[in-house]
Structure 1
Amino acid sequence: MKKHLILSFAMLLFVGIASSAAYKIDRLEPAFWWAGMEDENLQLLVYGENISELRPSIDYEGVSLERTVQVKSPNYLFLYLKIDKSVQPGAFDIAFKKKNKTQLSYRYELKQRRDGSAMRQGYTTSDVMYLITPDRFVNGDPSNDEVAEMKEGLDRSDDFGRHGGDLAGIINHLDYIEDMGYTALWLNPVMENDMPEGSYHGYAITDFYETDARHGSNEDYLKLSEELKKRDMKLVIDMIMNHCGSEHWWMKDLPTDDWLNFQDGWQVTTHLRETNMDPYASDYDKRNHADGWFVESMPDLNQRNPLMADYLIYNTIWWIEYADLDGIRMDTYPYPDKDFMSEWTRRVMTEYPNFNIVGEEWSSNPAIVSYWQKGKHNPDGYVSYMPGVFDFPLQDALVKALNEDDSQWGQGLPKLYGMLANDHLYADPSQLVIFPDNHDMSRFYTQINEDFDLFKMGMAYIAVTRGIPQIYYGTEILMTNPNSDSHGEIRAEYPGGWADHTANAFTGEGLTADQKEAQQFTKVLFNWRKTSSAVHNGCLKHFAPTHANGLYTLFRYDDESVVMLVMNKNPEAKDVNIVPFKDEVIGAATQGTDVISGNKVSLAGETVNVGPRSFLLVEIKK
């Protein structure tokens, strides 16, 4: 049963209900809050049969009920509270009355915040995110594989079925994640997806306040956060403001006529994300993009409804405070109402000034992606408060740079150089999240035609260039999707995550020689990155590939060190002229250290040698 329900929720969250036969509260969200928040306002959604017939009241010093909103459905009340910053933590009754007689009472709690909660430090450029699809990583608790009251059970034979991965499996393997050099964890959504089929991915939420029971509980999610903090690691939540699942509890009794977009008859979105910044876009096209649904099973939420907008904002802040989060990955960022997204980012970043958020804008055009970043001066005056965006343009350029024939004009490595030159479009390129692949696209090793040399070259670039790296689970062991680009195959089970697996990536048993080498290579690379201040916050300078030479050199540098990456796509070794590098970056240094091998590299001459279809990654201490 859901912890929201009164019978199971009362003791766990200090909720007391004394009800008459006529009325009861099925839900009150959020179920508790905190004293001392920056925002002194709070919306409470109250749901129960004919609850709108009652009039709530509160008697607690520092808390006042500012207004009560009734809606079309008689089963909802929206309460707006003002909570003074000086209010003391404690519990109080919300009395629901009819004709001055209390019909029921709800015990509400204001909790004590963690020390330093408001100034929590989000993930930074010193971090590397590890992205996990929880259902496909490790089955740590087989007892939750089947949950009787939920609509979809276990079916590992189906690529789109539930496979049983859970939070316990992730917690049990944090040693591996930490040992690999990853410092932050981004999970695909773990909130409840009680859908009849295809719910494993997490993007059709049916309860915004509950962890899916097949992954564990809210307490398990909090435990994961706590275990990460013990390791000085961070937790990034995956959120969706655009839509919910068609089996969301409110779908059977929508509060208002405009709770959803196209509520009277759904229609699919046009996916014309360009309408957000197109100076010539028609209102018709804007609406059909932003208000259209992805699919019938994902109703599109209307954030222009102020009750919906507040609900989503307070839900976001609740999760940050409850689970001690370090960042948010926002799904389908350009699809909700864009003015709401501006306000959402403003409210979150006002509450937590050092927090971090990254939004998904899947476009290979940096002019479109940069529109959403905080600090960008847009011609239409649109203001965002979101620190980062995913660098889809650079991911696209990286794959093309590795795959294309450098002998053709403008092909190959020049693509990578040219895309990075577009950084003038971004307010802060260092805050972009960079990645070789993710859960929505073919595996990186598949995209580069399973070329191990190119894999290592690409991963070295991701580790060194500006931005915050994100690595998808299994990329480090060359997971592929050779048969199709099906999401179910892309999000395959991680070897060793189930008892019947013949290969185990955690122990190395059953892995190929290349997989073991790739895993060790990735481990060395990202553990080194933890130590490099030049990569975290240093300047960047690169030297353009010339026509058909198949070489590209990029530097990161600060007052402590210089990091040099030379990529060589040629089938033969190359002596690379370093005289220009000495003039501008290296200076008088005569020696550096090869990051991967640990060997010394002489810089005393005019050239360095880079092996065929390889790279040279050198750290030079000042």
Structure 2
Amino acid sequence: MSTVKRSFFLILFFSILSLTSFAAKSKIERLEPGFWWVGMENPNLQLLIYGHGIGDYKVSLNYPGVDVKAVRNVENNNYLFVDLLIDKSAKAGMFEIKLTNSKGKELVYLYELKERRKDSANRSGFNSSDVIYLLMPDRFANGNSENDSVDVLVEKVDRANFDGRHGGDIEGIINQLDYLQDLGITALWSTPLLEDNEERGSYHTYAISDYYNIDARYGGNEAYLELSKECKKRGIKLIKDMVFNHCASAHWWMNDLPQEDWVHQHDNYMNSNHRKSTLLDPHASSVDKIQFSDGWFDKSMPDLNQQNELLMTYLIQNSIWWVEYADLDGIRMDTHPYNDPQGMSKWGKALLTEYPHLNIVGETWYKNAADIAYWQKDALNSDTYNSYLPCVMDFQLFFAMEKAFLEPQEWENGLVRLYKSLAADYLYKDLNNILIFSENHDTQRIMSTLEGDLDKFKLMNTFLMTTRGIPQIYAGIEILMEGKKSDGDGKMRIDFPGGWEGDERNAFAAEGRTAKENEAFNFLRKLLQWRKVNPVIHLGKLTHYIPENDVYVYFRSNKEKTVMVVINNGSKDQELSLNRFSESIKEFTKAYDILSEQNIQFSDGKLEVKGNSSMILELK
């Protein structure tokens, strides 16, 4: 072959190789959200399209009722943001989204618009009639050992490591739904289930690496849809934990950000100072506020910039997508005040526009009611800020419960702590939409605080299930599980016994529990099953009386019923004079104690209360 011919063929070969390489790179690697629904209140839809050089392409489609409103290029040419307008006339169906570059190369994505569930917009969220069960899926039950480790995800199962992945999954949760139903649970909150592809500690899944996919080690999206369906069969509402303040350093977009300000970046690494008070403090310096809001939660958790319009739209749509796709009954938003306040206000309003009766609870970790109440929807804030967050978490009451049952009553201590906490309820806009709890996945187990005292367990849960608000319990409290914060998160978040094949015992069944555990389980079960069918506890007026001699008395009442709750935190039996409570007892002369299952007469104006005991009296 001549030198000229050889050179020609080499040039032709490398030209073909170059074109092939370009063609291989030029593809739609991601398009989010991957599908949508017709009949949404907001007709606008933003598509994020990602692929090598995708910014060089023009976008077109031909489908009745759907138009390309705008195509937005950003500083990274590997992204396009496409705004669609979906008219009310648009029907469910499939259509092609075509991307064409200047050389005529065409990329096609087959997009689907789905029909919404009947009456989807009017779905009812969780409320004060519910008792929420919180669990960490990796530590609850392993229903499918085949997904314990997944090739494409970095961290593998290692149950011997307290901070490692233990293999709990969605199938394990589904397997125990009958157990939860029998206990009296009406709502389920799982810590995040989305993919967390960090190298270490990924079991908590609060560092999300993919906002549209359930972690394969939990079973993937199909398993989550099955969980939703099985919950619905049992009348259990499903609450999804969402994390918008930060993503994972392993998130796919961190290797190729759409825009430099997609996440908060600094010349040197800046951790958040975790001073939530700076948001509400009228005297706070700008530098402190910025460090709180723009600093990273952790080096593995890049701080998302919700002031970026494209990102905030992405997050809003992601929440709506999950509500519609998985038929959710509620959302729990992690570290709510850490997010941009205006961005989260926009998020809450958008969700409630699509789903007016959906409930959303935000993690509002403050020690006083004034700070917590600021974040509740329609709060009368002096700066006129409205979060559009219907439900807040009552950490003030949590901190009061941690101490109230461990100390004798003094002027400020003992059960007076509970009384004082509730006395601050004038600050809240909606008293019935406050989440109350004695422990969660981030706190010390309450039974470690109470040193395993079963009597105190009963007193605390009597209070939790009969005061105002929405009670939440943490998996394992029903069998007195312990765990100390000082031992580290992994040891505090221990596995539920019986959730794994080969466990020494199965505490999901009565025969696998100790006598003490069964006593605790049966007590709580009685409370929850009774609470479920008593609207007076859900919405009834709360009237309480200043605790005296370690005894706290309060009433829940509506037009149909009055319930008197008596909690004796002291070790001695006491005789109460009922005259003090006459405005609440009124003409009632007898009662039925649902705990002891005994009838009680009020004829002598006295009530005997045993030490370290409680009574829930249905007045008659």
Q: TM class by shorter-chain length?
A: over 0.9
User: d(CA) in 2 for partners of 1:545 and 1:178?
Assistant: 35
* Pairs aligned (count): 599
SS at match of 1:415: helix
Match for 1:481 among 478, 483, 486?
483
Aligned-pair CA distance for 1:449: 2.4
SS at match of 1:33: strand
Q: Does residue 1:469 correspond to 2:468, yes or no?
A: no
User: d(CA) in 1 for partners of 2:117 and 2:103?
Assistant: 38
CA contact (8 A) 1:23 1:103 kept: no
CA contact (8 A) 1:502 1:510 kept: no
Q: Does residue 1:349 correspond to 2:352, yes or no?
A: yes
Q: Does residue 1:293 correspond to 2:296, yes or no?
A: yes
User: d(CA) in 2 for partners of 1:554 and 1:261?
Assistant: 49
1:524-539 mapped onto 2 (5 Å cutoff): 524-539=526-541
Q: Which amino acid aligns with 1:323?
A: A
User: d(CA) in 2 for partners of 1:483 and 1:230?
Assistant: 36
| Deviation sequence 1:200-249 (CA, Å, 0-9, x none) | 01100000000000000111101111111111210000001100011000
Q: Does residue 1:550 correspond to 2:553, yes or no?
A: no
Structure 2 stretches lacking a partner, 5+ long: 1-21
Partner of 2:331: 328
User: d(CA) in 2 for partners of 1:254 and 1:21?
Assistant: 21
1:46-445 mapped onto 2 (5 Å cutoff): 46-99=49-102, 101=104, 103-262=106-265, 264-406=267-409, 408-445=410-447
SS at match of 2:533: coil
Aligned-pair CA distance for 1:21: 4.7
Partner of 1:609: 608
User: d(CA) in 1 for partners of 2:604 and 2:298?
Assistant: 61
Higher Cα Rg: structure 1 or 2?
2
Aligned-pair CA distance for 1:508: 2.5
User: d(CA) in 1 for partners of 2:46 and 2:138?
Assistant: 33
SS at match of 1:64: strand
Partner of 1:495: 497
User: d(CA) in 2 for partners of 1:559 and 1:505?
Assistant: 41
CA contact (8 A) 2:341 2:387 kept: no
Partner of 1:567: 567
| Deviation sequence 1:481-506 (CA, Å, 0-9, x none) | 15834211121100110122222111
User: d(CA) in 1 for partners of 2:252 and 2:269?
Assistant: 18
Q: Does residue 1:504 correspond to 2:506, yes or no?
A: yes
Match for 1:541 among 534, 540, 543?
543
SS at match of 2:481: coil
| Deviation sequence 1:56-93 (CA, Å, 0-9, x none) | 11211111111111111111111111111231111111
Identical columns (%): 48
CA contact (8 A) 2:484 2:492 kept: no
TM-score (structure 1 length as normaliser)? 0.94
User: d(CA) in 2 for partners of 1:565 and 1:244?
Assistant: 45
Aligned-pair CA distance for 1:258: 0.5
CA contact (8 A) 1:592 1:619 kept: yes
Q: Which amino acid aligns with 1:529?
A: R
SS at match of 2:405: helix
SS at match of 2:544: strand
| Deviation sequence 1:165-221 (CA, Å, 0-9, x none) | 000000011000000000000000000001111000110000000000000011110
User: d(CA) in 2 for partners of 1:591 and 1:503?
Assistant: 44
The two structures, once aligned, show a CA RMSD in angstroms of 1.4
User: d(CA) in 2 for partners of 1:420 and 1:615?
Assistant: 19
User: d(CA) in 2 for partners of 1:374 and 1:197?
Assistant: 37
Partner of 2:13: none
SS at match of 1:321: helix
SS at match of 2:261: coil
User: d(CA) in 2 for partners of 1:498 and 1:358?
Assistant: 31
SS at match of 2:89: coil
SS at match of 1:556: strand
User: d(CA) in 2 for partners of 1:294 and 1:22?
Assistant: 35
SS at match of 2:203: coil
Q: Which amino acid aligns with 1:606?
A: G
| Deviation sequence 1:78-130 (CA, Å, 0-9, x none) | 11111112311111111101238351111100000000100100001100100
Q: Which moved more, 1:512-521 or 1:264-273?
A: 264-273
CA contact (8 A) 2:54 2:80 kept: yes
Q: Which amino acid aligns with 1:459?
A: N
SS at match of 1:25: coil
User: d(CA) in 2 for partners of 1:475 and 1:321?
Assistant: 32
Q: Does residue 1:454 correspond to 2:456, yes or no?
A: yes
User: d(CA) in 1 for partners of 2:94 and 2:268?
Assistant: 43
SS at match of 1:214: helix
SS at match of 1:601: strand
SS at match of 1:540: strand
SS at match of 1:177: helix
SS at match of 1:572: coil
Q: Which amino acid aligns with 2:276?
A: R
Partner of 1:3: none
From the superposition, tell whether residues 577 and 254 of structure 1 become closer, same or farther in structure 2 (CA, over 3 Å).
same
Q: Which amino acid aligns with 1:50?
A: G
| Deviation sequence 1:118-151 (CA, Å, 0-9, x none) | 0100001100100010000000000101111210
TM-score (structure 2 length as normaliser)? 0.95
Q: Which moved more, 1:167-176 or 1:101-110?
A: 101-110
